[in-house]
Amino acid sequence: MTETDTAPAGTMGEVGRARRRKEDARLVTGRTQWTDNIQLPGMLHVAFLRSPLAHARITRVDVSAARGRPGVVAVFSGRDFAAEQGSLPCAWPVTEDIVIPDHPPMAVDEVRYVGEAVACVIATDRYRAADALDAIEIDYEPLDPVLDMTEALTEGSATVHEVGNRAFTWKFAQGDVEGAFRDAPVVIDRTFVQQRLIPSAMEPRAVVAQTDGDGFTLHSATQIPHILRVMLALTTGIPEHKLRVIAPDVGGGFGSKLQVTAEEVLCLLITRRLGRPVKWTESRSEGNLTVHHGRDQLQRISVAAESDGRIRGVKVDLLADMGAYLMLVTPGVPLLGAFMYGGIYKMDAYDFTCTGVFTTKMPTDAYRGAGRPEATFAIERAMDELAAELGLDPMEVRRRNWIRHAEFPYTTICGLTYDSGNYEAATDRALALFGYDELRAEQADRRNRRDPVQLGIGISTYTEMCGLAPSRVLGSLSYGAGGWEHAEVRMLPTGKVEVVTGSSPHGQGHVTAWSQIVADALGVPFEDVSVLHGDTASSHKGMDTYGSRSLSVGGIALVQACEKVREKARQVAAHMMEASPDDVEFTDGRFRVRGTTTERTIQEIALATFAAHDLPEGFEPRLDAQATFDPDNFSFPHGTHLCAVEVDTETGATTIRSYVAVDDVGKVVNPLIVEGQVHGGIAQGIAQALFEEVVYDADGNLLTTTMADYLLPSATDLPVFVTDRTETPATSNPLGVKGVGEAGTIASTPAVVNAIVDALRPYGVRDVRMPCTPERVWRALHDRAPSAEEGASV
């Protein structure tokens, strides 16, 4: 990545340049607009009282003492909102018989996880609101918690909801699976635990709600202002046109802010009732309890293969912990992985079953990768196990199975058509950067010497489906919304350009990347483009940011809007130069009559259109356009990640010695931003492999409520990442781009765990459950009697 941004401004070819970000100016100087920064005249502060029990009936509520506390304006419990609070939405009813329990934003009769809101105080400042929580009296009658998915499905288990603990069972099968497994020379059968994770965006959630007596404005630290507006209108009964939602600066999301939260609904209800603006900002401990969690799946994967390693078929049986309720896309998350358990490999049969299970825990929902990291982990771990079983190099087993470059486009057994890819190129580059053969030699040496510090090499040759995505496909999977994205481009009278995007950023760098795209498309300087986003009043239409979709969907909408503007400008230019539009060429912001030196700049045309003194007959005097793009296919980034670890067999400590990632995300708009996304993604995937895990105790209390207990990696915990790219353009969009936001997270977790297991394989270790803490590694080495036989990680 040696590109620089030193080329003179206005030079074409912005796309592909490592432009430094426009966003940074306010972020490095503190002139930010986080939701918690907002101060409004007469604003009150909300604090929530939360359930201390995992499962209980509420038998008595008395808020009278709290009402008398200093600074307290109002105190409400769930009963006060019962008639108007509705039910938090689930937009992804994955099966016809799915159980979607009523989900009151504030519990009324029963609580089903620790942290569920049961009452709130509204006071003049945040300290007084928090103080008065102590004076609220609530009596509970404890009920049995439901904490283990397998037990939850057994006869006689306590139930989270009256209807039972099974939310849905979703099945998908292709080919002759029984045939593939019958008499298969090799069958790998493994169970993996995808532990529960906390997304942990650095900015805690915050909400500010206000009303002028007619309409409502809600500021929220959200990824999805547009979806939120629709959903809040449906939930609260506030008419959609009377509700404006604004996502100002948002400090990371990783899926956690892809949600319609209880607190957003309740702040609207409170402001509706009191007629005053209110703010709620969560503490981190509150967030660990109540920001939706991610992952939490129990995966059984079986791979049938020939004796040369070629895969015949794959079977997957998944239990997915929904938590206590189904939130916005809770049941859909495992389905996003359903089509990815085949990875990059060819096979003739596939069978997938997923059962969603209720437990008395915080609901799960999207977390970076959402379903695809889990799937990739399982198949990539299984490929290593297959290689070990056959005594083959794990890369060789992959080569024998992967889709060759010449075979693209390729329709997988799961029915996805991978439009482009070059696994050979990415792998060759990664192996060279990594020094694969040298590391294998060192590994052999350490094994021979019985070095207490063993070397392990982990491979992950991943792909993923992202760029969510074709509305028709999402509809066929019963998702409640479409997958299009919207953009508007306006030439202003002075020749500057204002862009409105429906994709709402929270750290990705949309403003910079969109400016680069527009600069090329309209031939204007990068500096002359501004980008509006995140406010439903200025950006009326959008489907927001998740699933690595912004560029490959929203960026294409932007390109199309630019094309429309350019064609309008061509009409005006032709008219001004008294030529036929067909004879007018456009290059670098100039319209020129073919074969002459007569030309007009796009800025001149913007001014002429504004003046409107002499426009073509019937030409509407505006140089702006909108476009909505709905792709025909997902985008399929891929790559090869290689990880070398040193595992101390005496202490169980794992150190990442080197990490190489070669990703193919198609054409790149800004290599700096792409590299940053890859880095951050790898870090989060490594964090799952080595550090992070949500822990509930036997009563259903969350033990990892703080950053002291839930271990986010710091700078000392992570290695230097060596990254490079291959570039195989996507064929499903005119820019040739693929998503990048989730790729690193999807790829890196199995690379790390494969490396650890590889290091310990001579000791009989066949799996280490994540996170692979020193204790878990040590126990895998020393207590492996029960698990070594079955290879199970549970």
Sign, CA dihedral 323-325-329-334, equals positive
Contact status, residue 289 vs residue 49, Cβ threshold 8 Å: no
679 binds other proteins (CB under 8 A): yes
Q: How many CB atoms lie within 10 A of CB 488?
A: 23
Find the binder of other proteins among 77, 191, 195, 200 (CB under 8 A).
Answer: 200
State the minimum distance, in angstroms, from the CB of residue 745 to other proteins: 11
Q: Which of residues 254-313 bind other proteins (CB under 8 A)?
A: 254, 281, 283-285
- Give the x-and-dash track for 721-760 against other proteins (CB under 8 A): x---------------------------------------
Quote the least distance from Cβ 669 to other proteins, whole Å: 14
7 contacts 526 by C-beta, under 8 angstroms:
no
Candidate segments 28-36, 189-197, 355-363, 731-739, binder of other proteins by CB under 8 A:
28-36
Question: Does 31 sit near other proteins (CB under 8 A)?
Answer: yes
- CB nearer to other proteins: give 719 or 774: 719
CA distance 791 to 341: 19
Whole-angstrom distance, CA of residue 665 vs CA of residue 250: 25
For residues 373 and 745, the answer to whether their CB atoms sit within 8 Å is: yes
Please report, as a single letter, which amino acid is at residue 525. P
Helix or strand holding residue 281 (H, E):
strand 278-281
Under a CB-based contact definition with an 8 Å cutoff, are residues 638 and 408 in contact?
Answer: no
Using CB under 8 A, which of 187, 433, 615, 712 touches other proteins? 712
Q: How far is the CB of 247 from other proteins (least distance, A)?
A: 12
> Within 10 A of 27 (CB to CB), how many other CB atoms are there?
13
Helices (H), 495-543: 510-522
If binding is defined by CB under 8 A, does position 27 make contact with other proteins?
A: yes
Q: Say whether residue 708 binds other proteins (CB under 8 A).
A: yes
Smallest separation, CB 725 to other proteins (Å):
16
- What crossing angle do the helices spanning 423-434 and 436-449 adopt, rounded to 10°? 50
CB of 59 to other proteins, least distance (A): 31
Can residue 706 be called a binding residue for other proteins (CB under 8 A)?
yes
Which residue has 């005119």 as its token pair? 734
Q: Which of 103, 229, 292, 506 binds other proteins (CB under 8 A)?
A: 506
- Site membership for other proteins, residue 502 (CB under 8 A): no
Return the residue of 115, 323, 509, 631 that touches other proteins, per CB under 8 A: 509
Binding flag, residue 30, other proteins (CB under 8 A):
yes
- Give 86 or 509: the residue with its C-beta nearer to other proteins: 509
Residues 6+ positions from 500 with CB-CB distance below 8 Å: 487, 488, 489, 490, 531, 532, 533, 538, 539
Contact flag: residue 127 with other proteins (CB under 8 A): yes
Can you tell me which of 47, 122, 201, 573 binds other proteins, judged by CB under 8 A? 201
Cβ closer to other proteins: 483 or 744?
744
Among 25, 163, 444, 537, interactor with other proteins by CB under 8 A: 25
Half-sphere exposure of 1 (CA within 13 A, CB side): 22
Q: According to the binding rule CB under 8 A, does residue 6 interact with other proteins?
A: no
Phi-psi region of 189 (alpha: psi -120 to 50; beta: other; left: phi over 0): beta
Choose the stretch contacting other proteins; rule: CB under 8 A; options: 245-253, 470-478, 577-585, 643-651.
Answer: 245-253
- Site size toward other proteins (CB under 8 A) is 57
Q: Which stretches of 28-144 are DSSP H helices?
A: 64-67, 78-81, 126-133
| DSSP codes of every residue in 530-550 | EEE-SBTTT------S-TT-I
Residue 23 as a binder of other proteins (CB under 8 A): the answer is yes
Contact between 606 and 624 (Cβ < 8 Å): no
CB of 230 to other proteins, least distance (A): 25
- Write out the DSSP string of 283-321: -HHHHHHHSPBEEEEEEEEEEEE-TTS-EEEEEEEEEEE
| Interface pattern 600-629 for other proteins (x via CB under 8 A) | ------------------------------
The residue type of 630 is D
The identity of residue 250, as a single letter, is: V
Cβ-contact 105, 262 below 8 angstroms: yes
Cα–Cα separations (whole angstroms), residue 712 to 285, 533, 573, 664, 690: 14, 30, 56, 28, 10
Interface residue with other proteins among 204, 458, 495, 502 (CB under 8 A) is: 204
Segment interacting with other proteins, rule: CB under 8 A, options 375-383, 489-497, 670-678, 753-761:
670-678
State yes or no: residue 680 binds other proteins (CB under 8 A). Answer: yes
Q: Which is nearer to other proteins, 83 or 720 (CB)?
A: 720
Stretch that binds other proteins, among 167-175, 247-255, 615-623, 749-757 (CB under 8 A): 247-255
Task: Report in angstroms how near the CB of residue 398 gets to other proteins at its nearest.
Answer: 25
458 or 505, CB closer to other proteins?
A: 505
Which residues here bind other proteins, judged by CB under 8 A?
Answer: 20-21, 23-25, 27-32, 34, 36-37, 39, 125-127, 200-204, 249-252, 254, 281, 283-285, 506-509, 672-673, 675-677, 679-684, 706-708, 712, 714-716, 718, 720-721
